[in-house]
Structure formats: C-alpha cells, structure tokens
Amino acid sequence: MSHLPIELRERDAELRSQQGELVLLMAQQARRIPLQRYLTSVLMAALLCYYMSPLLPLLWLGVVVAAVAWRTHVLLRLPEDRTSSDHSKLRRASNLFLLTGVVQALVVLFFPVVPVLIGAIVTIYIVGVCSATIQATAGYRRICLPYVLTMMVPVGVVWTLTPVADVAVSERLLFAGLILIYITTMLSHARGVSGVFMESYDIRQQRVDLNRKLRSALGNAETANRAKTRFLASASHDLRQPIHALSLFSGSLLLRPMDTRTAAIAEQIDKAVKSLAGQLDALLDISRLDAGVIERSISSVDLPILLSQLMDEFQPQAERKGLRLTLQGLDGSLVRTDPMLLQRILRNLVSNAIKYTEQGGVHLSVEPLGDKLRISVADTGPGIPESEQERVFEEFYQLNNPERDRSKGLGLGLAIVRRLTELLDIGLKLASSPGGSRFSVDIPVTRNPGVPVADQAVPAGPLWRHVQVLVIDDEEAIRLGMQTLLEEMGFTVETAASTDAAIDKALGFTPSIVLADFRLRGDDNGIRTIRALRQTWPELPALLISGDTAPDRLREARDAGVELLHKPVNAMMLRESILKAVNE
C-alpha cells in the first residue's frame, strides 16, 4: 500500500503500545526515504562507473534498490498486520534494516580501485545514510546499533588497511580513529532521539488519557442533561394534568354567579393555579429551548409601545412593594427583532429586578449605540457578587433564597434570558456591584420600518354561541372539566376518550373545532385523532392540548402543523384560541 490513512492513525492512537507507535513511525518515514535513497545510490553508481567496469557498480545498485524497495513494502504493511505482535514487527524491521545496511556497505569493496577523493565521497554517502536511518527509526537501539556498525566499521577498516600512495599510514589511522569517534557520537545521538520519542509518546498518551476522561465527563454531562430534560418533561406532564383540571373547574367557577365571600375564595384559588402554571411554564420554556422548537419571527417592533406595555404590566407589582418603576429614553424608535421573544426577555429581567429589590426602584432605559439601541434594566437591589455573575444564568440557581421562597420563582428566569438572547443573536451584558445590578441587551435598529407589529390589526372573532367543540382526552376529570368550562362559555360540547371514540361521536355531531390531548392511551395520540377526523372534514380547525414538554414531543407537534397549547390552559386564553382557530 502507498500510504496510511489519517483516520487509521487517529483511530489507533489510543490502542498502540510504544513499540506499535515506533512501527507506525517507521512506516511513515518509509514513504519519504526511498526516493532519496534511490537517487543517491544511482549517483554513487554512476560515479563509480568512471573508474571501473560498469557491471559491478550497476549490480550493486540493483541489489540496493531491490533491498530498499522490499524494506519499504514490508514496513508500510506492518502497522496493519493484526496477526503479529509489536515485538515481532520490530524484529522484522530490524532484520530488514540490517539487510539493507549490509547491501549498502558493500560499496566499500570498491575502495581499492578508486581515487582517495572518490573514497571520501563514498564515506560521506555512508555517513548520510546512517544519519537518515537514525531519524527514520527514532534512534531505536536494536536497529541503529547493528545498522551503524555494519556500515561504518567497514569504512574504518578499509581506510586503515587499503594502501594509498599519497596518504601516510598515520593519516589513515587518524581517519579511522575519527570514524570511531563519529560512530560513538552517532550512537549517542540515536539515544537522544530515542529519548525524545519516548517522551513524546508519554506526553501523547497523557493527552489521550485526558481526552478520554474529558469525553467520559462530557458524555456523563450530556446523559445527565438528557435525564434532567426527561425528568422535567415527565414531572411537568404529570403535574399539569391535575392542575389543568383544577384550572378548568376554577375558570368555570369564576363564570358562575357567587356571593362576595365565595367569589373571593374562587379568585384566590384561581390566583394560586395561575402562579403554579407560571412556574410550570418556565420549565416548559427550558424544554422548548432544549428541543430547538422556538423559532425567531423577525419584524419591525415599535419599542415605545412594547416597553409601555411592560410598564403597565409591572407597575402594580412594583407599587405593592413600595418601589419606583421608571422608564427613560424612548423616542419613537423601531427595532428589528422578534417582538414576543424580546418581550419575554425584558419581562423576565423586570420581574427579577422587582423580586430582588426591597427598596428604591427599578429603572428601564433606552440609549442609542451606533446602529443599535441598548435597553437596560437597572435596580437598587443587593447586587450580585462578581464570583456569582456567571452562575446566575444557570438553571435553578438563585442567590439569597436558601428557603426557596416561591415568590422568587424557580431560578429559571435568567437561564431563559440567556438562551433567548443567543437565539436572537443579541448581546447580553451584566454589570453589578453592592447596591444594584444592570442587565442590558443590544437590539438592532430597523432599516426598513414597514408596519410595526404593535400597529397590526387583530381580526375580530365570531360569536361563539354556535361553535361546536369536540374534546378528546383520556382522563375523565379533564373531559368533565373541559365540558363544564366550555359550556359555561356558551359552546356546545361533546367529549371522547380516544380516536375511535371521537370518530363514533362525530357520526352524530358535526364539530366546529377539535380540542385533542396530545398523549392518549397506548399508541393513540391527538395528532392521529385530528388526521382521522380531517379525512371527513379536511378543513376542520384543531388545537392540540398537552402537558408533555419533552423535546421530541414538542418537535413532533410542530412538524404536524397544529397549534399546541400547554396545560394548564387559562380559561380566557382557551376561548380566544378557539375563536381564532374557527375564524381563520
């Protein structure tokens, strides 16, 4: 074979012993050396042909070329030989180098018939071959020692014993001594090269061990993250089911006439349900971001209107804590971003600021920054220590809340903010010191205003008195709660527990819209139900309702092209979603 694939080299890096790495190095060097060895041998043979019959130099050249070619062929195949041990591979390599050393050393036999100058050139040739072999074998002693002695000792012998007219005996002995010193030096160099190779091998093995540990740690982290996501999705689903039923009955209760005391109790129940639903929605946001199902919808946004809505939303909350909520720097600017995601980012920042500020106030500001606007949310809270400023963006991490006060949320707000800013590709900055914190986001100014999102008209829905709703859910409490709530709203309602039951129910009931639970019994699910009913009514409006927040489920719902509502569904939001769907 002509080369070793890089993939093979990388794949085997962790499996090869030190001897195996040495065999691999020789195979790699074997690809580079032959051409040089052939060329120098050809030049040497051509030079010798001037001083003797060409037969012997050409015969020597042929043997050298054959020996080097055979050694190259075998060395290239050694790394892939799975039948031999690394030790036996090195022994074969040693024999091959010794053979080629003997063959190349035969050139000294021509000393008696060539001038002294040519003999010096032959010596240089042999010295160069020995030096190259030391590099090609990483100074491996079992190869270098016999190879160097096989080639250099004959040179010293012929320089000592061959009578040369114009070179005195003492000069020849001196030259032989220099060759002996050079042999010693060369072997010492080989030991140094071998030491460097072994040190490099040890470093590489340490790196491999470190990479293995890092991969293992990364795999464990990814496994833990998937387990966390599955846990959150499962816990969220199991919790959402009874909370959804409670929300439905609570919404139904609020629609009925009650005395003042009963109405107050019902409102507190509804408030508690909404608070718990909000916390579950934070878990849902994390799952949706993990699933990658949240997509940007970039448009021109009227920033003053968006921020004014936030001010109206949080002003009562700030006043209840005795805080000032102020806004500064609005000038009618339009920015280009996703309005819903930007609003969620700012809502989380303002909500966090109010939660953690006990006195003073929260200040929103807008300032120009080149072709961007910087929106900042500053508070007069306790501040965030520098050592904690990165950790506050982690999931479920909260400062100064060891008792896990539910009024301060779950510790997901800033984690969601960071992920949403990354999704929108906008800058997020935090500056904090004792006495306050400032979070800032940089939003591009729009270059093509078009129609601001806040100015787009929302079509009015039809009256709902004649809307017939088919509810499919496998839990009886949910079916009863949905029917109670929707009938209180004035809808006509039928319920079913499965796809087959829904088809049977539809034989005597023509639905205006289908509300289907995403996960039903066994292999049944709401998508299957909607598709089955649309075989009869192709344009039938439908909504999926689910407490499942697993990333795979979210992607499946998105791919089905049906709007997905998450349990618990607020009563008014459910009514608006139904009217919007039947009006389209």
Q: Provide the residue-wise pLDDT of the chain in tens; the chain has 584 residues.
A: 344 444 334 444 454 777 888 888 888 888 776 777 888 888 888 988 988 889 999 999 999 899 888 988 888 888 888 888 888 888 888 888 889 889 888 888 888 888 888 888 888 888 888 888 888 888 888 888 888 888 888 888 888 877 765 667 777 778 778 888 888 888 888 888 888 888 888 888 888 888 888 888 888 888 877 776 666 556 555 666 676 666 666 666 777 777 777 777 777 777 776 666 665 655 555 555 555 546 666 777 778 888 887 888 788 888 888 888 888 876 667 778 877 778 888 888 888 888 888 888 888 888 888 788 888 888 888 887 776 667 666 655 555 544 444 444 445 667 778 877 777 788 888 888 887 888 888 888 876 554 444 444 334 334 445 788 899 988 888 888 888 888 888 888 889 988 888 888 888 888 889 998 888 888 888 888 888 888 888 888 888 887 665 656 667 777 777 888 877 777 777 888 888 888 86
- Environment class of residue 519 by beta-carbon count within 10 Å: exposed (0-12), middle (13-18) or buried (19+)? middle
**HSE, side-chain direction, 13 A CA sphere, residue 477:** 10
Residue 199, in any domain of the structure = no
Residue 186, in any domain of the structure = no
How far from each other are the two terminal CA atoms of the chain, in whole angstroms? 68
Residue 125, in any domain of the structure = yes
Query: Tokens 């010096």 belong to which residue?
Result: 120
User: Which of 395, 426, 450 is the last residue in one of the domains?
Assistant: 450
Cα 209 to chain centroid, rounded: 21
**Co-location of 270 and 410 in the same domain:** no
**Co-location of 115 and 137 in the same domain:** yes
Query: Tokens 């100058």 belong to which residue?
Result: 117
**Co-location of 358 and 420 in the same domain:** yes
| C-alpha distances in Å from residue 414, one per residue of 18, 419, 433, 482 | 50, 9, 18, 34
**Co-location of 432 and 521 in the same domain:** no
Count of domains for the chain: 3
- Tokens in use for 305? 């209107």
Given this model, what pLDDT does residue 59 score?
A: 93
User: Which of 400, 417, 450 is the last residue in one of the domains?
Assistant: 450
CB-based contact 155:179 (threshold 8 Å): yes
Can you tell me whether residue 438 is helix, strand or coil? strand
Phi, psi (degrees; rounded to nearest 5) at 29: -70, -30
| Type and span of the H or E element at 207 | helix 169-254
Model pTM?
A: 0.42
| Type and span of the H or E element at 379 | strand 372-379
The DSSP code for 111 is G
Neighbours of 395 (CB within 10 A): 17
Cα 385 to chain centroid, rounded: 29
CB-based contact 75:27 (threshold 8 Å): yes
- Which CATH number does the domain housing residue 351 bear? 3.30.565.10
Residue 223, in any domain of the structure = no
- Tokens in use for 503? 């088809």
Given this model, what pLDDT does residue 407 score?
A: 46
**Co-location of 437 and 490 in the same domain:** no
Can you tell me whether residue 492 is helix, strand or coil? strand
Residue 118, in any domain of the structure = yes
Can you tell me whether residue 382 is helix, strand or coil? coil
Give the helix, strand, coil percentages of the chain, each rounded to 5.
60, 10, 25
Between CA 359 and CA 64 the distance in angstroms is 92
- Tokens in use for 484? 């109670």
CB-based contact 353:377 (threshold 8 Å): yes
Residue 505, in any domain of the structure = yes
Is the bond leading into 568 cis (omega within 30 degrees of zero)? yes
Between CA 247 and CA 571 the distance in angstroms is 8
| C-alpha distances in Å from residue 303, one per residue of 328, 332, 370, 447 | 12, 7, 17, 14
User: Which of 423, 450, 477 is the last residue in one of the domains?
Assistant: 450
**Co-location of 386 and 431 in the same domain:** yes
Given this model, what pLDDT does residue 58 score?
A: 92
- Closest residue by Cα to residue 362 from 389, 323, 329: 323
Between CA 217 and CA 214 the distance in angstroms is 5
**Co-location of 544 and 415 in the same domain:** no
Amino acid at 484: T
Residue 126, in any domain of the structure = yes
Residue 190, in any domain of the structure = no
Amino acid at 302: D
Q: Provide the residue count of the chain.
A: 584
- Which CATH number does the domain housing residue 569 bear? 3.40.50.2300
**Co-location of 280 and 308 in the same domain:** no
Domain range for 502 is: 228-293+462-584
**Co-location of 437 and 505 in the same domain:** no
**HSE, side-chain direction, 13 A CA sphere, residue 44:** 31
| Type and span of the H or E element at 162 | none
Between CA 579 and CA 576 the distance in angstroms is 5
Between CA 289 and CA 266 the distance in angstroms is 34
| Type and span of the H or E element at 3 | none
**Co-location of 254 and 317 in the same domain:** no
Mapping DSSP onto H, E and C, the string for 277-324 reads HHHHHHHHHHHHHHHCCCCCCCEEEEHHHHHHHHHHHHHHHHHHCCCE
Strand 334-337 to 324-328 pairing: unpaired
Phi, psi (degrees; rounded to nearest 5) at 113: -110, 10
Contacting residues for 415 by C-beta, under 8 A, at least 6 apart? 286, 393, 394, 395, 396, 397
| Torsion-angle region of 400 (φ positive above 0: left; ψ -120 to 50: alpha; else: beta) | left
Strand 427-433 to 436-444 pairing: antiparallel
**Co-location of 37 and 152 in the same domain:** yes
Q: What is the DSSP string of 122-155?
A: HHHHHHHHHHHHHHHTTT-HHHHHHHHHHHHHHH
Strand 427-433 to 361-369 pairing: unpaired
**Co-location of 16 and 159 in the same domain:** yes
- Closest residue by Cα to residue 462 from 371, 327, 580, 543: 580
